[in-house]
Structure 1
């Protein structure tokens, strides 16, 4: 039973990032434009890097029950992605009132997902 739940957890957690990353490929120009507005150097490369982290990190997380250290690499990749996404796209401290609420929610969600990836890493060690 443990291994079934362990596999399903990795499949759902990593698979969601693979799906979102693939969907974000089409959105790279828009992401790059947003990042340019935030004064990020080489916004096209940064957007592509972020989408790559989503896809590769998600795939490694899915493979973690079967491939040694895939959980460590996938978890680290997605923690980096979540921290960067939160800082660049959801800086709730830059907003106030109603405009701040969705950014606070995204911050909390990304914090929880970071905790989930710390668990993925812990089980891989």
Structure 2
């Protein structure tokens, strides 16, 4: 019976969703220079500061989701992050061809992640 595995399924979901953001945050540290330039070019005020706030949010909130501590609050932080970052970095409507296809894939992936975090929030509340 599936309900016998509820805790294991939730742990797997938390590991996958939270782990993706810990990984992304660490990867963004490696690409901080490029990302700061991109954000500056797109008119983000205080781009370097905003990038580092986003990186900290990704890593800390991802780790909280994995650990199951403050899951709903951490998931909400990541939903808000996705709502802000997705149109900034996956603006497929401004691109055509392979670049547009790549950006729409990222956009749709982030929409799916948002749904996953909303489901975790609903379970945690």
TM-score by length of 2: 0.89
Q: Kindly provide the CA deviation profile for residues 53-102 of structure 1, in whole angstroms up to 9, marking residues without a partner as x.
A: 210110111122xx3xx111111111122122211111111112333111
Q: Secondary structure at the match of 2:43?
A: coil
Looking at structure 1, the residues matched to 106 and 23 of structure 2 have their Cα atoms a distance apart, in angstroms, of 18
> Of residues 7, 12, 23 in structure 1, which corresponds to 2:11?
7
Task: Give structure 2 stretches of 5+ with no counterpart.
Answer: none
Q: Secondary structure at the match of 1:100?
A: helix
Once the two structures are superposed, the pairs formed by residues 3-82 of structure 1 within 5 Å of their partners are 3-64=7-68, 67=69, 70-82=70-82
Once the two structures are superposed, the pairs formed by residues 97-116 of structure 1 within 5 Å of their partners are 97-116=97-116
Larger helix fraction of residues: 2
Looking at structure 2, the residues matched to 55 and 98 of structure 1 have their Cα atoms a distance apart, in angstroms, of 30
Superposed CA RMSD in Å reads 1.3
Looking at structure 2, the residues matched to 9 and 39 of structure 1 have their Cα atoms a distance apart, in angstroms, of 35
Tell me the matched-pair count. Answer: 121
Looking at structure 2, the residues matched to 5 and 12 of structure 1 have their Cα atoms a distance apart, in angstroms, of 11
TM-score by length of 1: 0.89
Looking at structure 1, the residues matched to 38 and 124 of structure 2 have their Cα atoms a distance apart, in angstroms, of 35
Task: Give structure 1 stretches of 5+ with no counterpart.
Answer: none
